[in-house]
Amino acid sequence: MMVGRVPVVDGRGAGHGWCLRVAAVAVGVVLAAAMLVGCGSGAPGRVVLIFDTDTDAVDQLRTAATDCSQVSGGRYTIEQRTQPSRNTDDNRLYLARRLAVQDTGLDIMELDDIWTAEFAQAGWILPYPPEVARQVEQGTLPVPLGTATYQGRLYAAPLNTAMQLLWYRKDLVPEPPKTWDEMIQMAEGLAARGLPHYIEVQGARYEGLTVWFNTLLASAGGEIVSENGDVRVARGDAARRAVGVMARVATSSAADPSLSLSHEDETRLAMQEGRAAFEVNYPFVYASMSEAGGGAFIDAQGRPTRQDTGRHVGDVFGWAAYPSVVAGRPASVTVGGHNLGVSATSRHPAEAFEAVQCLRNRDNQLRYAVAVQRLPTLGALYGDPALLTRYPAWREIRGSLDRASVRPKTPAYKNISIVVSELLNPPARINPNTVVDQLSDQITKAITSQGLVP
């Protein structure tokens, strides 16, 4: 991977892109605009910024691009383009291939928050100039902001975030469990009575399983890897606590038989169809439950039924903070989401940095949150009436974001995720006495790309 100076060949000289990056990074947006003239950017015609986004929220992002173009007063036009796949890994490769060959057709990119370290280390995205970084940091929630930094510098601007809550059946469990141990006990009690009792989690061999482990590990006081690459998963008993919870869930009567194949949608459907009493999942499930008419209910014989009772979804499905691993210690839920990065090969970095601030401003983040269930990263929005109406669980969401955790900030994260999901699937076969040492060994190899295809 190339780090630092990356020459751009675009017909105006190999040093042109480097000149732009010096202008944008070393001096800041205002001075950069002046230096652009000296770098030969005064080509005739309007400045067009290509805004490359994923496949979700396309309409809202396109509207934001149009609005922000108008706000610029004609200095630039933002053209929204959609990445080719709904699969995150495919889009990572798509962007990496374009950036690796110095493609100048990218200006602003919507990036999964786990890509920051990899793209920054490779020199594919520019660090934010200090003045712009201060503006991005102002009012942004600290944990989502942490996903946009690498080695002390801001390389992206948080656009939206995501985290999980506990969802439970209020007609089966009057009060939500506060810990995983308590939830397992409750579920086993329901099973003994012949009632819906499954605990739904994301146990398939994919990123969701890694997120489950990372949340449990962080909630127990541990971490997988430090930002300087130090493997910490084997230190203390936090990792053993985490895998112990996973093994207990998977081997108890609370386990759905399809646990090792479950993604977010499978867990959501199990809850809606009346087979589960608990699930850990993202806030989008509330809208889905509402559209399903409140999901399933329990009849007089304790059997699930879809008969319409006229009750609201909130009468049956409750929400609470993610269960703790250690009693009395709130969980540290792993955040997800998307950030905005500026391509290192952009011909217009000063304008791109300016446009980013508009694309993620209050109005646009509120639009994304209300229309397509993308949680905002601006703390002030958690008091907005439109947001509170859309997210009845906003208090639990806001509190969880304050104490949330991030996934390892390392260029080797993809390799780490593959290792974790391979070793911990199926969860029912986890041996807490041996798997932690295996994790430590395999993660160390993953960081150095031993035995894995990056």
Q: Is there a common fold for 16-155+336-402 and 165-333+409-447?
A: yes
Q: What is the CA angle 328-329-335, rounded to 5?
A: 145
Contacts of 395 (CB under 8 A, 6+ apart): none
Q: Catalogue the long-range contacts made by 64-72 (C-beta closer than 8 Å, 24 or more residues apart).
A: 64/358, 64/359, 64/364, 64/367, 65/359, 67/358, 67/363, 67/364, 68/355, 68/358, 68/359, 68/364, 71/358, 72/351, 72/354, 72/355, 72/358
How far, in Å, CA of 168 to CA of 171, rounded? Answer: 9
Query: Can you read off the two tokens belonging to residue 80?
Result: 């929204």
CA proximity to 265, closest of 279, 252, 254, 245: 279
Q: Please give the biggest Cα pair distance in the chain.
A: 80
Q: Are 334 and 179 in contact (CB under 8 A)?
A: no
Helix (H) or strand (E) holding 401: helix 394-402
Contacts of 334 (CB under 8 A, 6+ apart): 163, 164, 211, 214, 215, 218, 404, 405, 406, 407
Amino acid sitting at position 63: T
**pLDDT value at position 11?**
31
Residue 123 has, within 13 A of its CA and on its CB side, a CA count of 15
Cβ neighbourhood burial of 357 (10 Å; 0-12, 13-18, 19+) = middle
pTM above 0.85, yes or no: yes
How far, in Å, CA of 295 to CA of 313, rounded? Answer: 7
**pLDDT value at position 265?**
95
**pLDDT value at position 46?**
85
- Whole-number average pLDDT of the chain: 87
Domain edges within the chain: 16-155+336-402, 165-333+409-447
**pLDDT value at position 3?**
33
**pLDDT value at position 288?**
81
Angle of the 362-372 helix axis to the 58-71 helix axis, nearest 10: 160
The pLDDT averaged over each successive group of 10 residues in the chain (454 residues) is 32 33 35 33 70 95 98 97 95 96 97 97 98 98 98 97 96 95 98 96 98 98 89 85 98 97 96 93 88 54 53 77 98 98 98 98 97 95 95 96 97 95 98 95 86 40
Query: Can you read off the two tokens belonging to residue 338?
Result: 């998307």
Question: Which regions of 37-76 does DSSP assign to beta strands (E)?
Answer: 48-53
Is there a cis peptide before residue 283, judged by omega within 30 degrees of 0?
no
**pLDDT value at position 224?**
95
Question: Which regions of 243-351 does DSSP assign to beta strands (E)?
Answer: 276-281, 297-298, 304-305, 317-320, 336-342
Q: What DSSP string runs through 168-186?
A: EETTT-SS--SBHHHHHHH
Q: Give the CA distances from residue 402 to residues 33, 78, 123, 296, 399, in Å, rounded to whole numbers and listed in that order.
A: 37, 33, 31, 33, 5
Q: How many of the other CB atoms lie within 10 Å of CB of 358? A: 18
Helix (H) or strand (E) holding 438: helix 432-447
Fold type of domain 16-155+336-402: D-Maltodextrin-Binding Protein; domain 2 (3.40.190)
The DSSP symbol for 251 reads: H
How far, in Å, CA of 349 to CA of 244, rounded? Answer: 48
Contacts of 96 (CB under 8 A, 6+ apart): 119, 122, 124
How far, in Å, CA of 333 to CA of 162, rounded? Answer: 10
How far, in Å, CA of 342 to CA of 348, rounded? Answer: 10
How far, in Å, CA of 274 to CA of 291, rounded? Answer: 15
pLDDT of 346-399, one tens digit each?
Answer: 999 999 999 999 999 999 999 999 999 999 999 999 999 999 999 999 999 999
Of the options 3.40.190.10, 1.10.10.10, 3.40.50.720, 3.30.1050.10, the CATH number for the domain spanning 165-333+409-447: 3.40.190.10
Q: How many of the other CB atoms lie within 10 Å of CB of 110? A: 24
Contacts of 400 (CB under 8 A, 6+ apart): 163, 165, 321, 322, 331, 333
